[in-house]
A = this chain, B = another copy of it.
Amino acid sequence: MDKTKRKVTIVGTGNVACHLFKVLSSVKSREEWETVIVNSRTLEGLPELSDLILISVKDDAIPEVALRLIGKGKTVAHTSGSVSIDVLKGIAKEYGVFYPLQTFSKKRELNYKEIPFFIEGNDEQAFKTLRELASEISAEVFEADSQIRKKLHIAAVFACNFSNHLVSIADDLLHEEELDYKVLLPLLKETIGKLDSLPPREAQTGPAVRDDESVMTIHKEMLRERPELQTIYQLLSDSIRNLK
């Protein structure tokens, strides 16, 4: 049987779109899938009919871009963590969500095999198509409805967005001594590295978890001219003690 390649079209030119294009153009999936990428504004180069269209644009732009793709894909999916699958109703018979839980930046090399992909389909066929493609990229492919994706998103806000902000705060404090956050990087990497083998609750260290009142008093005194940081310090220390 002469095997025809399936056609995947990525719509978008942001970091997620570019990373997906790069990995799909390089993995062995090339034998089965042929990948093109088009600008969401011009749609220049859009194939007459794709087997799968992945819409990878800003959340707010998804409905408008989707409307211009009616009839252009057998399956159409978006790549957003926080947008419902229903936004694609009526765009294609098969539709769904293809959500990689990762932060994508230009110039960063990633180990795609480890990135968890969360897949949702409006029916079994859509789900199967999306899972097949995700499995070409990653070893970690899960089914996840919109409820689960919402939970993943808020968890990522706590674990990643807020943690990054805490490093900004540390950076500010260190600048007062002409140091910066870079001295903390080996410690930060090891803090995360430990979590491969130890759950965060067991990995918790620091004055709050060992109820070291004298150190916490010194720290709050050091922050007396930064009431906002003092409040964050108190609240997170209390929260650590409540979790014990």
Contacts and interface: CB of A to CB of B under 8 A. Distances in A.
A188 B160 contact: yes
A127 to B, nearest CB: 18
A173 B151 contact: yes
A105 B201 contact: no
A171 B201 contact: yes
Copies of this chain in the oligomer: 2
A130 B169 CA distance: 30
Interface string A165-198: 1111111011011011111111111111111111
A162 to B, nearest CB: 5
Interface stretch (A6-14, A42-50, A64-72, A203-211): A203-211
A225 interface: no
Interface in A148-169: 148, 150-169
Given A103-B190, A155-B174, 12 more contacts: A101-B183, A101-B187, A110-B186, A115-B186, A142-B183, A153-B219, A155-B170, A158-B229, A163-B166, A166-B166, A180-B199, A228-B239
